[in-house]
Structure formats: C-alpha cells, structure tokens
Chain A
Amino acid sequence: MATWRLTTPLTEADVRQLRAGDLVFLDGRVVGVRDATLIRIFDHGVEPPIDLSGAAVLHTAPNVRREGDRYIPLSVGTTTSARMDRFTRGLLERYGVRAIIGKGGLYLPESLGGLKRFGGCYLAIVGGAAAWQTLHTEAIEAVYWEDLMPEALWVFRVRELGPLFVAIDSHGRSLYAEVGAEARARLGQILGGG
C-alpha cells in the first residue's frame, strides 16, 4: 500500500507503477465531466474542446458562483461513476485519458480491459467528501459548454488532492470486483443460515 504524489499530465509510466490499494495525492489539472458532457462527446459526436491526453478526469458537477467572467468553486465533489461506465473506453483509447477519478467504480469489461490495455487507472475519491475536495481545489481555470450547466466541461487546478485510492489499476485488478465477489459469497452464507 504505497503512497504516491503525482502531477498532471500523467504519463503511462506514472500509471503503470500504481497498484490496487495504493494511495495517490494529485497536483495539477483535473477535468470535470459527467453525463451530459460525455453524451455530447460520444453520442452526439462533438470533439472535446481541450486536449485530454494524459488527463485526469473527474466525474463531477460543482456548485459555483459567477464573478464577472470567472467561476468561483463553492463545492466540488464527485458523482457516481457507474453511469459514465460506457464512455470510459473511448476516453482512454481515443483521447488518451490516464486517470478516471470517481466514486463507486467501473464495471464493464471494456472499461477494465481499456484501463489495462491503454494504461489507465481508476482513482476512488471518498464520495460525499466535497468540503475536503473543495479545499484542495485552488481554482476553476476554464469552463466549456456552459449551456450544459452545471454539467459543463470544467478545468480545475488542484493541490494535493487526496487521498485517492487506486481502486482499479492498469494490471487488471479491481477492488470493486474483489469486494463484490466476496459480498455475494457471504450473502449466500448468511441466507443459508451460515
């Protein structure tokens, strides 16, 4: 259970050294995306407005206050990744994303296979801990697709964002798969009167 301090953009080597169960603290830029953003990219075929190679993307839609032409982050948290599962492979394969930051995990074989094949990782943040996350978000550097508000494409500058748990690594190990399989086995024992 190693602890890593990484800075974006991430390289394949950065990601390949991580093992499930490790902790990561992240500096640099994090790109906020979620349902509407990813539907626009993948279902409507609109190219993302920024280069995502080496990016860490975060499943989010923050609370913000507009001051002039800037947005001040009031609460930047994390939403459930499972809804965005089917967009994961495209982010990795087509756009070179290296880290998905979310909560609740990814499950599709093509997502897990994509992380392994293209060198990506899933970093679990503590869901619901938005106050903590906000204090580690220094600024909103850019916002694209404001018509989707609050589901715009956000560029956050973060400092020591973490602890992030390496929940799915680039070597095929998923803590969610392991915990889920164990829970189903124990469920059988409990229902069987064991």
Chain B
Amino acid sequence: MIVAGPKFYEAVAEAAAEAYVRALIDVPPDVRAALASACRQETHPIGRRVLELVALNIRAADEHKILVCQDTGTPVYWAFIGSGLAVDGVRLEAAIRQGVEMATRQHSLRSSICHPITRENPQTNTGYRVPVVHFEFVAGTDYLDLVMLPKGSGSENQSFLKMLSPADGVAGVKRFILESVVEAGPKGCPPYIVGVGLGGSADLCMVLAKRALLRPIGSRNADPAVAALEAELLAGINRLGIGPQGLGGAVTALAVHIEHAYTHISQNPVAVNIQCWRGLRAAARVYPDGRWELISGWQPGG
C-alpha cells in the first residue's frame, strides 16, 4: 500500500481542472467515429445536414480550442481508487472541488450551478454537494483514475426512473426505455448515447444509468444477456425516426449502454439517463507521487 504524498492532492486538483476543460473542448475519439459513421448512414436531408454541421462544429472546437457546446454542465466525477493506494478521502474530494473552481476561473467557464430554491449562482460551478463525486475501488492498482463527465442539462433533464414489477419482465423494461427515448424526443440533442441502469435499488439504478455513459461507444456489457438487450434496444430506437436534433432521420441513437445490478425479488427497476451527441468525458490518472496524465480512450476496468 502506497500512501499518497502531499503533491498527490495538488495533482488531483490540476487533473480535475484539466479533465473538465478537456471534456468540454475535445469530443472523445469513439464518439467522433460514431458520428462520422452516422453521417454516412443518414439518408434524411435535414438529419444529414445536422450531422454535417456537427462535424464542422467539432472541427471548429479543435481549431480554435473553444467549447464544443456552451453548457459547462453539472461537474460529475468518478474516482476509481486503486487498492494499493492509501488516500485521505476528505482531501481528495476537496482537491476535485478546487479543480472545478480553478478551471472555471482560468478559462472563464460559465457557471451553471445554483441553489435549488434561491437560484443564487456562486459563479464557481460548485456549491453544496457539487461537484458530484462517485467513488469506486479497483483491485491491484496503486493510482487514481479520475473520470470527468460535464453533464449537459439538455440531456440530463431527460432522465427517467421506473420501479417496474417483476411480472413486467424484460418486455416492460424494453417498453419503458423506448418510451423514454420518445419522451426525450428532440430535447436532449440527439443522436443520443442512451445510458440505462437495470436492477439495484432506486438510487443505485439511476447511478448505474449515469455510470453507463463512461463506457466508450462500441463496448458491450460483459454479460451476454445484457449485451444482447443493448443491441436489440439500439436497433429499436433507430427505427423510431426521431433523427439528429429530432427533426427526422434514421439515426436517433449512437449507442445504448446498460449497467446492471442484482435487485430485490419484488422489484424490477429501470433508469434512463440520456447523453447528448457530444458524449463528453475525459479521464486523468494520478500517481501517488503527484505525477499525472490525461488518458485517451479510458474505459472502465481498462
């Protein structure tokens, strides 16, 4: 077990800041490939035109180093802590918060976070319990992987949870997911990455739907039954005709990612968390001695 040194927490703040900014300006390679493929497949004239503009937009963000989308999102982090790394969790969480505030100040990011009743905006992209930080633990490594998801509100507002009954079965699960995509329609910036949580408790189910968005497009759930459901749902969603930006077309979703957990004998929970076409995420690895680097093509367990 290696104890994180004093420089580790400074590095976490820097990595948290850099991952936030990187996620906002740089569309991940798997998402770029999926969008390019979608543009080739799309036959609807408006849908096609939308996807061509998406490609121009990604190029404009690359060339000018500016944000892909104006929404700086809700800063959500997943901290994957290696079993060989001993960290002070309180300092770790504080360092991530500090990173969000640094990035906001240094890059003049719009502050998108406010009090839920007074709507007071601290202008820092942080507040009570924000950034959202999830912790997971990884056997056999001695570093921290910090994955950043600046979750845009257009898609986050398209979040759905249903506590189905066991008798509703898989058919009920499919119905709810397809109905959720129809309900989201054009509002969350399709083509979507559809994050699905299946099983668990109500809280875990929703977290799993968000967790599913960390996976690169093209990845499959390790459980073959769940992977088959991902493929079936993607085919179904792309028969709905909602299309890019919901103006009609063949490509409504780029991917369906399902993360599952065992559930109660009397429950059948399903949650949907929609991700917009930009599929933003970035990852950084921080070592106990304070070295850190951005990781391109990060995947869970990879």
Contact = CB atoms under 8 A, between A and B. Distances in A.
Contact of A190 (B50, B56, B178, B277): B178
B242 interface: yes
Nearest to B175: A191
Contacts of A180: 182, 185, 246
Interface string A150-194: 100000000000010101000000011011101110110011000
Contact of B119 (A36, A63, A131, A190): A36
A191 B236 CA distance: 9
Given A74-B67, A130-B67, A131-B68, A80 B178 contact: no
Contact of A1 (B45, B57, B121, B277): B45
Interface stretch (B69-77, B140-148, B253-261): B69-77
A33 interface: no
Interface string B154-196: 1001000000000000000011001100100111110000000
A75 interface: yes
Interface string A45-66: 0000000000000001111110
Given A105-B246, A126-B57, A184-B182, A80 B187 contact: yes
A80 B157 contact: yes
A127 interface: yes
- Contact size range, B: 35 or more
B111 interface: yes
Nearest to B53: A126
Interface string B56-70: 111011001011111
B84 interface: no
Contacts, number: 164
Contacts of A187: 178-179, 182, 240
A63 B110 contact: yes
A64 B108 CA distance: 7
A103 B276 CA distance: 13
A113 B74 CA distance: 35
B100 interface: no
A80 B119 CA distance: 18
A128 B68 contact: yes
A190 B57 contact: no
Q: Which of B54, B110, B112, B236 has the most CB of A within 10 A?
A: B110
Contacts of A105: 185-187, 246
B241 interface: yes
Given A126-B245, A149-B123, A179-B185, 13 more contacts: A62-B110, A104-B154, A128-B57, A128-B68, A128-B277, A129-B54, A129-B69, A130-B67, A130-B68, A131-B60, A135-B60, A163-B49, A183-B185
Interface of A: 1, 21, 23, 36, 60-65, 74-80, 82-83, 103-105, 124, 126-132, 134-135, 149-150, 163, 165, 167, 175-176, 178-180, 182-184, 186-187, 190-191
Q: Which 5 A-B pairs have the closest CB atoms?
A: A77-B70, A129-B57, A131-B61, A104-B187, A131-B60
Interface of B: 45-46, 49-50, 53-54, 56-58, 60-61, 64, 66-72, 108-112, 119, 121, 123, 152-154, 157, 174-175, 178-179, 182, 185-189, 236, 239-243, 245-248, 276-278
22 contacts: A63-B108, A64-B110, A74-B108, A80-B154, A82-B187, A103-B186, A104-B246, A105-B187, A124-B245, A126-B50, A127-B189, A129-B53, A130-B69, A131-B57, A131-B58, A131-B64, A131-B68, A150-B110, A176-B246, A179-B243, A186-B241, A190-B236
